Amino acid sequence: MCNYIKNSLFVCLFFISLSGFGNNSFASLDKKSQAVPDSLTGYREIAAHLTHDLNSDTEKARALYIWLSHNIQYNLSQKNSEESYQSVEEIIEEALKTKTGVCQHYAELFHAMGQSVGLETYVITGYTRNKAGEIADLGHAWNGIAIDSKHYLVDVTWAAGYEQNGKYLHQFRDEYFMISPEIMIQSHMPFDPVLQFLNNPLNNKEFISKDFSKLEKPGKFAFNDTIQQEKKLSKLKQLELASRRIKTNGIQNKLIQKQLNNNLLQIATIKYNTAIDTLNYGVENYNLYVTHKNKQFRNPNLEDSYILELIESAERAAFTANEMLYGLLSPSQELNTLIADVRRKLATIMPDLRKEKEFVEKYLNTWKPFRMMLFVK
């Protein structure tokens, strides 16, 4: 199966000051959350150790936030890297092994650790505004969290430190924990507007122009209902709906277009892989059919219904795969070439399948004592 979609890292490193939860009440928790025993290496183990005696979700989120910001250091060498990973698991594994990473490492770790201890967390990708008010030229990743039916934002990357004169200063700054959506949207713009956690979300043009007038007006967009409903959908459907929202919100810069292209590539890859799985099922049945036909459907003697189902399932699978691939285009020429190759092969296979189905129909309509004559050339 060809699945070459890779998760491009979001590596933005720009900062402005935000206002999150006050930190005075966390002094004791913060102190003990800065380190864990060296024997703990997996994210589930670390998260469980940090939160085992904590009662509230806010405290659990805080413990994870503190540990990550103090123990994972931003890797400036990856800031402009095009390095990509096959899976989220690889991103998490690398961050824990090297204790370094970029914003996606922080975000994926916070999400995975949070979910492992029962928190409702999200990874959010988008773009940001730096402290000079300029739109950053690199994408960024941060987190969302829902606690007691309220939604907040967390940016562990920005909390862990900052870049100064080309060097990274690993210096904790407690300004990026449990930030309200109304505050966060002034500097962090999700690609998918539903993850703004706002009932009156901004479009990209409004964010770029700093038009925040919507924040003062009530909105009717039930973002949480949308989020909860889409959790029940397939990955394919989620991507399709998110891509539709990204388009509607306006393609105002190359980062948005790049994210949309990545979504479209994932959509095309899922459809391609599904078509290949369907086709492979048909090929297996066709090969089994050929094996039995070479034995004249004897040894063992086969039921007529079974013979018919083998060839019909093979034909259905080929037809369905062809339908799935018809008109399928992706931003990747490599994938488009694979799609075209499979469709060319299907064009040669399908006539043979129809011919074999006609043979089976003739075979089944022939009086059994005379059926063996059909195999004589």
Residue 86 lies in a domain: yes
CATH of the domain at 14: 3.10.620
pLDDT > 50? residue 315: yes
Are 81 and 182 in a shared domain? yes
Are 123 and 33 in a shared domain? yes
Residue 158 lies in a domain: yes
Are 28 and 160 in a shared domain? yes
CA distances from 261 to 108, 291, 329, 344 (A): 21, 44, 11, 26
Residue 283 lies in a domain: yes
Predicted local distance difference test score (pLDDT) of residue 131: 79
Predicted local distance difference test score (pLDDT) of residue 82: 59
Phi-psi map region of 193: left, alpha, beta (phi>0 left; psi -120 to 50 alpha): alpha
Q: How far apart are CA 24 and CA 353, in angstroms?
A: 73
Q: Which of 162, 190, 218 is the last residue of a domain?
A: 190
Predicted local distance difference test score (pLDDT) of residue 247: 98
- DSSP three-state, residue 100: strand
Are 151 and 273 in a shared domain? no
Are 67 and 160 in a shared domain? yes
Q: Which of 190, 215, 230 is the last residue of a domain?
A: 190
Residue 176 lies in a domain: yes
- Looking at the structure of the chain, the number of domains it has is 2
Beta pairing class for 188-190 and 120-128? antiparallel
Residue 207 lies in a domain: no
Predicted local distance difference test score (pLDDT) of residue 98: 94
For residue 23, give its domain range. Answer: 7-190
Are 46 and 161 in a shared domain? yes
User: For the segment 45-60, what is each residue's pLDDT rounded down to a tens digit?
Assistant: 999 999 999 999 999 9
270 pLDDT band (50/70/90 cuts)? Answer: very high
The first and second tokens of residue 162, run together, are 């900052």
164 pLDDT band (50/70/90 cuts)? Answer: confident
Give the mean pLDDT of 188-195.
Answer: 98
For residue 109, count other CB atoms closer than 10 A to its CB.
Answer: 27
pLDDT > 50? residue 9: no
Residues of the chain with pLDDT > 90, as a percent, come to: 85
Lowest mean pLDDT among 178-187, 254-263, 274-283, 292-301: 292-301
Residue 368 lies in a domain: yes
Are 13 and 155 in a shared domain? yes
CATH of the domain at 357: 1.20.58
Are 77 and 184 in a shared domain? yes
Are 144 and 287 in a shared domain? no
Report the predicted TM-score, pTM, of the whole model to 2 decimal places. 0.88
Are 180 and 299 in a shared domain? no
The first and second tokens of residue 103, run together, are 């914003």
User: For the segment 79-128, what is each residue's pLDDT rounded down to a tens digit?
Assistant: 766 556 668 999 999 999 999 999 999 999 999 999 999 999 999 999 99
Predicted local distance difference test score (pLDDT) of residue 377: 72
Residue 32 lies in a domain: yes
Give the mean pLDDT of 295-306.
Answer: 92
Cβ contacts of 353 within 8 Å, gap of 6 or more: 286, 311, 314, 315, 318
Q: Are 186 and 195 in contact (CB under 8 A)?
A: no
Q: Which of 159, 190, 221 is the last residue of a domain?
A: 190
User: For the segment 213-247, what is each residue's pLDDT rounded down to a tens digit?
Assistant: 999 998 999 999 999 999 999 999 999 999 999 99
Are 160 and 297 in a shared domain? no
Are 66 and 186 in a shared domain? yes
Residue 45 lies in a domain: yes
